[in-house]
A and B are shown apart, each in its own frame.
Chain A
């Protein structure tokens, strides 16, 4: 937690608002940068993935259930949003009615997955959720008549707000739209975390048996976590659809998305809202901004060759993800901005393990 005393603990407790505030100021910095380095345009996916990470964080970080099927909920969200808004279907809802619908459908999907599987523990649940991810992807591919198969559903209309239309060519309004929605998600998550519901989740994470012996219905609490997590992931999918102007094809929502979401939560700090924000910034920023820019820059100056794939930094990205995860797990398993409780849980037995060469660690 860093140094004790002074204003640091207070700053740390409000870190998520500070991060969001910094994000709100970013477009001002953009004015000083040369046009090819404008960040506001590139930062938008970070916000969407932060919402996705927030959903996973509720399930995995707060409640301690490993969910590897986040991409499925994102896909459900993106397709729900696309079907609800696209003009090749009769529904043609606006952004502000389609988004709540997307969230509701996500929650329902979470409950449908959760009801039969929530009694499973640890790895078993992870495998089931992983299977769910593959199932949704294949179903979307094969329900040709409804989802247009691998073409994806497009084009989607631009969102509007009180008559203002968000055009694809003006990134700044989008930037603040996504930032505002992310702020709402952060606010709700923080409120839940500090309420009796967050306390129930934490008690299940720490010791499920003790929690049930205190009268807590762990099925209900876990199902609630699943539903809320899925609805946030679904919302991220809907926003992704609005941002792309297309549902994307089913293959876009593959296992990689689930893993990236998990990396965001782990790198940032499990169970920590500010950690997820920072994790999304680091992971997606690295992936979508740094690597893209670096690759383009190197190609421009003739330092990479199209004959040799190893010279392009983009092709090293999963190698770097893996390395980052390994280093993280070895040196800072609690993440960059850890929650105090999770950090303490991970280090609970450190003091009991005698320090010696080759000593086993728990």
Chain B
């Protein structure tokens, strides 16, 4: 069974089709590389897969299930609740002053105790006796606005990057997007954030649960840093790291999300040969943990060295797919990279 399956993914920017009906499949434990000349749409494909851009059509499936926020009964109740609250709020707002007068001012004769039951009854009587058109209009309009607002917010958040990350897709970025002013450890802890169970109250009052989780998560983050070979830099500020280490930190941060598949966008860019060799070894070890890797890379030594399968993109189209040995000799790939000979 496929781990990640992309079907007919299409991404357009105005008239430009950046990715055209891209389909491919990554199986568990596979290292799958996407290569292609500059501007072929590799990074755009990544962005469409992770929800950074909304694709024009096509879908992404993780373990056979579409990676979208599901429409559950809870969502429906949420919509109805928002609609009801907006409607009630608008009715109250329209009638605020006379309602207050009928319920509070008329009943309050500077005596205590205040007749709460009578105030409530008078308020309801007022709402019943008032020209029904006004209240109904306000309620209807409020419900409509609430429903539309809730729907549009939900729809746009439906396949946002955080949903994809929750489904097990973690990524790095082409030009490193670390949290540069945080420490290395904090960067990894941000990646781990969705796995933490501390809630607002625990944090605000520093309850024991919060402290325990703080210790545990730091230990786990250090483990991930050790795996990525960064444990010595744990307390350093991310921007002070060398370029190669920053790229490794990005991978460590993505691993903290506990993904089933890791998307690496040009991890070897700007690395020297030693660093690139270290990176290849790291990618293999990530696979050894049972995490599949989807790789975009220009560094052919790295690509040919680690990948199990390669897809070649040109102008948003997939022109070839296969084992590294087959790709190396594919005439279409050669043409895409080097051009065809004039005959």
Within 8 A of B (CB), among A206-230: 206-207, 209-219, 224
B203's partner among A115, A144, A197, A341 (CB-CB below 8 A) is: A197
Whether the Cβ atoms of B186 and A199 lie closer than 8 Å is: yes
Which residues of A sit under 8 angstroms from B162, Cβ to Cβ?
212-213, 215-218
B171's partner among A198, A213, A218, A348 (CB-CB below 8 A) is: A213
User: Cα distance A148–B193 when bound, in Å?
Assistant: 48
Whether the Cβ atoms of B239 and A348 lie closer than 8 Å is: yes
Q: How many residues of A contact B (CB 8 A)?
A: 42
Within 8 A of A (CB), among B225-264: 237, 239, 253-254, 256-257
Which residues of A sit under 8 angstroms from B202, Cβ to Cβ?
195
**In this assembly, does A29 line the interface, its C-beta being within 8 Å of a C-beta of chain B?**
no
User: Cα distance A210–B52 when bound, in Å?
Assistant: 10
**In this assembly, does A196 line the interface, its C-beta being within 8 Å of a C-beta of chain B?**
yes
**In this assembly, does A203 line the interface, its C-beta being within 8 Å of a C-beta of chain B?**
yes
User: Cα distance A209–B110 when bound, in Å?
Assistant: 57
- Mask of A19-51 contacts with B, CB within 8 angstroms, 1/0: 000000000000000000000000000000000
The number of residue pairs between A and B whose CB atoms lie closer than 8 Å in the complex comes to 134
State which size class the interface on B falls in: 35 or more
Whether the Cβ atoms of A211 and B198 lie closer than 8 Å is: no
Whether the Cβ atoms of A348 and B203 lie closer than 8 Å is: no
**In this assembly, does A163 line the interface, its C-beta being within 8 Å of a C-beta of chain B?**
no
Q: Contacts A143-B97, A146-B100, A196-B193: A202 and B161 contacting too (C-beta < 8 A)?
A: no
**In this assembly, does B132 line the interface, its C-beta being within 8 Å of a C-beta of chain A?**
no
Whether the Cβ atoms of B108 and A89 lie closer than 8 Å is: yes
User: Cα distance A202–B186 when bound, in Å?
Assistant: 10
Which residues of B sit under 8 angstroms from A217, Cβ to Cβ?
162
**In this assembly, does A161 line the interface, its C-beta being within 8 Å of a C-beta of chain B?**
no
User: Cα distance A61–B83 when bound, in Å?
Assistant: 33
Whether the Cβ atoms of A214 and B97 lie closer than 8 Å is: no
Q: Contacts A116-B149, A145-B100, A206-B180: A216 and B200 contacting too (C-beta < 8 A)?
A: no
Closest approach, in angstroms, between the C-beta of A253 and any C-beta of chain B? Answer: 19
- Mask of B19-45 contacts with A, CB within 8 angstroms, 1/0: 000000000000000000000000000
- Mask of B205-220 contacts with A, CB within 8 angstroms, 1/0: 1100010001001000
Whether the Cβ atoms of B179 and A195 lie closer than 8 Å is: no
Which residues of B sit under 8 angstroms from A323, Cβ to Cβ?
none
User: Cα distance A289–B114 when bound, in Å?
Assistant: 43
**In this assembly, does B121 line the interface, its C-beta being within 8 Å of a C-beta of chain A?**
no
Which residues of A sit under 8 angstroms from B170, Cβ to Cβ?
213-214
Extra inter-chain contacts (10) besides given A210-B179, A216-B190, CB under 8 Å: A143-B96, A144-B97, A191-B205, A196-B189, A196-B217, A210-B173, A213-B164, A214-B194, A215-B194, A348-B181
